[in-house]
C-alpha cells in the first residue's frame, strides 16, 4: 500500500511539474499579487509586525527556507517571503511550497484598521501547483454567510498589548466583522515562559504551546506542544545562529516525544535570509 501511495504521489508531482514547465514564476507573482493597500492613516499600535516576530533592526525582507532529511521532500525548500515597510509592518507576503508560490497577501490600513487582501494562485483547473506533501492544493471557495462585506479588504487584524508593550492577543476577522480566530499570549516572566493558544470563532481551543524564550529578543529555545487533552505531546528544542543585527539566520529544531527515551532527533533546519534598510 505504501508503494502504491508513493507511486501515486510521484505521478501527481510529475504531472504538476510538467504543467509548471510553462509557468513564468515572476509573471505569475505579478499577475496574482492583489492591488496594494493604503499605508495610512495608521492605527495606534504599541508594537509592529517585525517587533512582534522578534526581529531587530530595520528589516526590509525575510525569506524562510526549510531543510529536511525526510524522504520524499526536497532537502531545502522555500516556505515564505516577507516584505516590511520602514515602520516594521508587513506590506506583502508570498507563501511558497518549494518552487511554487501558492498564496500572496498584501497588508495596509483602511479607516485606521489593519487589513489584508489575499489571492491563492490558480494554475489552471482549480489546482494550485504548490505541492503540500506531493498533493496539489485544491482551491476552495469561501462560504458566504450572508453578512454585509467591506469589499475594500478581505481580513482585518486587531492587536492587544500589555503595559510592557508585549503582544497578548491578536484577533483575525473577516471583512464582515465576524471573528474568525483569536490567538492569546500569557507570559510568566520569572520563568521566561509564554503560553500561546489559538481559538476558533466559537472560543474552542485548537492549539496550545508553551514557549521558553529569551525575553531580550523573543527567540524561543524550547516549545512544548500539547494534545487535545492538554497533555504534553512533544518537546522541541531550538538552537540558533545569528547575524550581526542579532536576528537568527539558522534555527535547528530537535524533537523529543515524552514517552520515548532515545535522544532527541533533528527534525528540520530553518534558514532565514534577511535584508535591511540602509
**What string of DSSP letters covers 141-172?**
PPPP-S----TT-SEEEEEEE-TTS-EEEEEE
Residue spans per domain, the chain? 2-19+26-276
Q: Quick one: pLDDT at residue 140?
A: 44
- In angstroms, the CA 74 to CA 167 distance is 35
**Which residue, among 108, 99, 102, 110, has the nearest Cα to 73 in the 3D structure?**
99
Would you tell me which CATH number, out of the four given (1.10.1060, 2.60.40, 1.10.1740, 2.40.160), belongs to the domain 2-19+26-276? Answer: 2.40.160
Question: What stretch of H or E contains 200?
Answer: strand 193-200
- In angstroms, the CA 107 to CA 176 distance is 17
Query: Which grid cell is 188?
Result: 510568566
Which segments in the chain show pLDDT lower than 70? 1-22, 69-74, 125-143, 217, 259-264
pLDDT tens readout for residues 47-86 = 999 999 999 999 999 999 998 765 555 577 899 999 999 9
Rounded (10°) CA dihedral 79, 271, 88, 100: -20
Cis peptide before 50 (omega within 30 of 0): no
Q: Are 155 and 115 in contact (CB under 8 A)?
A: yes
Q: Quick one: pLDDT at residue 131?
A: 46
Enumerate residues 6+ apart whose C-beta is below 8 A from 220. 211, 212, 213, 238
**DSSP summary character for residue 124:** S
Amino acid at each position: 500500500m505504501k508503494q502504491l501511495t508513493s507511486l501515486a504521489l510521484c505521478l501527481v508531482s510529475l504531472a504538476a511539474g510538467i504543467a509548471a514547465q510553462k509557468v513564468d514564476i515572476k509573471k505569475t507573482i505579478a499577475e496574482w499579487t492583489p492591488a496594494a493597500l493604503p499605508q495610512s492613516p495608521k492605527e495606534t499600535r504599541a508594537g509592529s509586525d517585525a517587533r512582534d516576530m522578534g526581529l531587530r533592526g530595520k528589516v526590509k525582507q525575510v525569506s524562510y527556507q526549510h531543510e529536511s532529511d525526510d524522504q520524499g521532500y526536497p532537502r531545502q525548500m522555500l516556505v515564505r517571503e516577507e516584505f516590511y515597510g520602514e515602520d516594521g509592518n508587513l506590506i506583502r507576503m508570498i507563501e511558497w511550497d518549494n518552487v511554487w508560490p501558492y498564496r500572496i497577501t498584501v497588508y495596509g490600513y483602511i479607516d485606521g484598521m489593519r487589513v489584508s487582501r489575499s489571492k491563492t494562485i490558480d494554475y489552471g483547473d482549480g489546482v494550485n501547483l504548490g505541492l503540500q506533501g506531493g498533493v496539489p492544493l485544491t482551491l476552495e471557495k469561501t462560504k458566504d454567510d450572508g453578512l454585509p462585506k467591506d469589499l475594500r479588504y478581505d481580513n482585518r487584524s486587531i492587536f492587544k498589548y500589555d503595559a510592557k508593550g508585549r503582544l497578548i492577543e491578536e484577533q483575525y476577522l473577516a471583512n464582515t466583522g465576524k471573528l474568525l480566530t483569536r490567538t492569546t499570549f500569557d507570559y510568566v516572566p520569572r520563568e521566561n515562559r509564554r503560553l500561546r493558544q489559538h481559538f476558533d470563532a466559537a472560543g474552542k481551543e485548537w492549539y496550545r504551546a508553551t514557549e521558553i524564550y529569551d525575553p531580550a529578543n523573543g527567540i524561543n529555545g524550547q516549545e512544548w506542544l500539547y494534545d487535545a487533552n492538554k497533555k504534553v505531546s512533544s518537546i522541541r528544542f531550538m538552537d540558533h545562529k545569528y547575524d550581526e543585527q542579532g536576528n537568527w539566520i539558522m534555527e535547528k529544531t530537535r524533537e523529543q516525544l515524552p514517552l520515548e527515551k532515545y535522544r532527541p532527533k533533528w527534525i528540520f533546519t530553518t534558514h532565514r535570509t534577511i535584508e535591511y534598510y540602509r
